[in-house]
Amino acid sequence: MAETPHPLTEERLQRFARHIVLPEVGGAGQAALARSHVALIGLGGIGAPVLQYLAGAGVGRFTLVDDGDVEESNLQRQTIYTTRDIGHGKAVGARRWLANFDEKLVAEIHDRRIDANNAAALIGGADLVIDGTDNFATRLAVSDACVAARIPLLSAAVGRFQGQVAAFQGHLEGEPCYRCFVGDAFDAEDCDTCAEDGVLGAMVGWVGTFAAMQAVRLLIAPQMGAADWGSLHLMDGLKPGMRVLKIVKDAACRACAPGDAGQGEG
Ligand SMILES: [Zn+2]
């Protein structure tokens, strides 16, 4: 902890006045957001709006992780980057966006790919991990690290016009983790399909902003309603509409099952 996130000074109260007047947020909720530390994994089409809305909400501290560089084809959806960022690292660009937006917010950046070996160190100390990465192997590594570190995980993903947002606390009895949801089959598979399948900017924006709202709900729960752990929100961009499914804990999950079944992954 290098710096303490900002207290709610008079100037900060003005900045967040429209939050504070909401009974569901109020001064207590705003102070909780200011004290919060979010680790954001993946600074692409989902991560960009997540960062924008959580920075706007005054989340005091971020850990930003992405090993990619900004490409010209990213700009139709990755809203924190501009033409002059092309060829430069996304993590650096995200920190620059954040510093321009609100210099009071603290960010630590990691310009490398998160995996099973480094995930624990990268997410350590976070109150909430948000995963907006684009492949199952990374998502499972992040999820397993969250279970081991007992940190809640908010997972958001898009495939063409289908979006998914779900919050997990697999370290708790009876609560599923992301691995309970998708199983072990995807561990080795890297399925970054945006380039082949195409992706609509507003679609990932919708998923990212919904994830940001869920993150705010989780960070100040239960003021904005109970955290709906294990609920999978499915978003259909073609219908359009949303529905919700309940994910069940897998008694044999190698990340979060109690006892012998859970010893495979750390
Ligand atoms: Zn599990």
Q: For 10-246, give the CATH class.
A: alpha beta
Cα–Cα dist 71/78, whole Å: 10
Expressed in angstroms and rounded, the spacing between residue 126 Cα and the centre of ligand 1 is 20
- Give the span between the Cα atoms of 164 and 244, in whole angstroms: 10
Res. 7 pLDDT band, cuts 50 70 90: low
Residues present in the chain in total: 266
Q: Give me 92's structure tokens.
A: 């650096």
pLDDT for 99-154, tens place per residue?
A: 999 999 999 999 999 999 999 999 999 999 999 998 899 999 999 999 999 999 99
Ligand 1 centroid – CA 172 distance (Å): 10
Cα of 151 vs centre of ligand 1, distance in Å, is 13
Helix, strand, or coil (residue 156): strand
Tokens (6 digits) for 197: 């399948």
pLDDT confidence tier of residue 195, bands split at 50, 70 and 90: low
Question: What integer pLDDT is reported at residue 5 of this predicted model?
Answer: 52
158's enclosing H/E stretch is: strand 153-159
User: Where are the domains positioned within the chain?
Assistant: 10-246
55 CA distance to ligand 1 centroid (A)? 30
Of 179, 157, 165, nearest to 216 by C-alpha is 165
Question: Would you state the structure tokens that stand for residue 160, as one six-digit string?
Answer: 């063409």
Using pLDDT thresholds of 50, 70 and 90, give the confidence band for residue 164: very high
